C-alpha cells in the first residue's frame, strides 16, 4: 500500500496506471468496519482503490466539534493495510485549500434544506467543497459512500450528476445490536453506547408501524420513548428520497431519518423504505 501526502505525487502515481479503473473512498479517519465495507465494495468493482483520510474543517459547525473528532492516523493506516487498500491519501489543509480554508458555494437543489442542513448550517457546502476537490485530484471512475449519511449521499449524487464519476451507495454497517457504526461512537461511554440502541429501535418501530399509524402519531410515540432515555431526540423525519424534504404520509420511495445527542455527541441514522435503485 502506498501512503501519499502530496497531491502532486498522487496525480503522478495515478497517471502511471494505464486502463485501470480507480475506486475512491473518502474518509475522515477513525476507521471502522463500516469503512471497510466501502473498501470491499470498491475492490469488488475496481482495479485500484484509493482511500483518503482528511478531517475537513469546513464541514464542522464549531471548533470544539472539530477538535473533538477522533483521530489516529497510524492506527488507520495499519487498518487499511490489512484490508487491501492500494493507496491512502493523507493531505493537510494546504494541499486541499492552498491556504484559503473556506467553502465554495454550490447549488444543492434544496437537498440541504432540512435535517442536517437545518441543524448544521453550512455543513453540506463544506462537504461538497472537499469532495469536489478530492474528485478533481483523484479523478476516480467510481466513488463509494455509506447510506448512513443519507442526505450527504444524495447531495454528492446531485453535485456529481454531470461528471463521469459513478457514485455507489453502500448499506449502513451495524453492530449486533443494530447500532450504526460511526467514528463518533468512539467518544461514547460504554453506558451511552449501550443506550444508543434506542436510535435504531425507533427507526424499526416506525418502519414496522407505518401502515398502522400516521406519521404524526409515530413521531409522538418516538418522542415518548426518548423521554425515558439518556439520549435527546433532535429530529425524526420521514423524507422523500428524491428531495430529502419531509412528507406527510408514506409513499413509494422514502426514508426515515433520525438525529440524537448524548453528552454533546451527535449520532444520525436512517432506514430507507421501498427505495428505488439509487446506484
pLDDT tens per residue, range 97-112 = 998 999 999 999 999 9
**Who contacts 83 (Cβ-Cβ below 8 Å, separation ≥6)?**
36, 39, 40
Structural domains for the chain: 2-170 (3.40.50.620), 183-271 (3.30.1300.10)
Stretch 39-51: mean pLDDT: 98
Catalytic position from the list 32, 35, 158, 245:
35
Q: Is it the case that residue 205 has pLDDT exceeding 60?
A: yes
Task: Report phi then psi at 20, rounded to 5.
Answer: -115, 135
Burial of 161 (0-12, 13-18, 19+ CB in 10 A): exposed
Is residue 35 part of the annotated active site? The answer reads: yes
Cα-Cα-Cα-Cα dihedral sign, residues 39, 44, 45, 49: positive
What whole-number distance in Å separates Cα of residue 220 and Cα of residue 226? 10
Q: What is the pLDDT of residues 109-122, one digit of tens each?
A: 999 999 999 999 99
pLDDT of residue 138: 98
Amino acid at each position: 500500500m502506498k501512503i501519499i501526502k502530496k497531491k502532486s505525487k498522487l496525480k503522478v502515481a495515478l497517471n502511471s496506471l494505464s486502463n485501470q479503473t480507480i475506486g475512491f473512498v473518502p474518509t475522515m479517519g477513525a476507521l471502522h468496519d463500516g469503512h471497510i465495507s466501502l473498501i470491499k465494495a470498491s475492490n469488488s468493482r475496481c482495479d485500484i482503490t484509493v482511500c483518503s483520510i482528511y478531517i475537513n474543517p469546513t464541514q464542522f459547525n464549531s471548533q470544539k466539534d472539530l477538535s473533538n473528532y477522533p483521530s489516529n492516523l497510524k492506527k488507520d493506516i495499519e487498518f487499511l493495510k490489512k484490508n487491501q487498500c492500494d493507496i491512502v491519501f493523507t493531505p493537510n489543509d494546504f494541499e486541499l485549500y492552498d491556504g484559503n480554508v473556506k467553502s465554495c458555494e454550490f447549488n444543492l437543489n434544496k437537498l440541504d434544506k432540512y435535517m442536517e442542513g437545518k441543524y448544521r448550517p453550512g455543513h453540506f457546502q463544506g462537504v461538497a467543497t472537499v469532495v469536489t476537490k478530492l474528485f478533481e485530484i483523484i479523478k476516480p471512475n467510481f466513488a463509494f459512500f455509506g447510506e448512513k449519511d443519507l442526505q450527504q449521499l444524495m447531495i454528492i449524487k446531485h453535485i456529481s450528476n454531470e461528471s463521469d464519476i459513478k457514485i455507489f451507495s453502500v448499506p449502513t454497517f451495524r453492530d449486533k445490536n443494530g447500532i450504526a457504526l460511526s467514528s463518533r461512537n468512539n467518544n461514547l461511554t460504554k453506558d451511552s453506547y449501550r443506550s444508543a440502541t434506542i436510535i435504531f429501535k425507533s427507526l424499526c418501530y416506525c418502519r414496522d408501524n407505518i401502515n398502522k399509524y400516521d406519521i404524526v402519531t409515530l413521531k409522538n410515540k418516538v418522542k415518548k420513548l426518548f423521554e425515558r432515555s439518556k439520549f435527546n431526540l433532535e429530529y425524526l423525519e420521514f423524507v422523500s428520497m428524491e428531495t430529502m424534504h419531509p412528507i406527510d404520509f408514506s409513499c413509494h420511495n422514502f426514508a426515515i431519518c433520525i438525529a440524537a445527542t448524548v453528552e454533546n455527541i451527535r449520532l444520525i441514522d436512517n432506514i430507507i423504505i421501498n427505495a428505488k435503485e439509487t446506484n
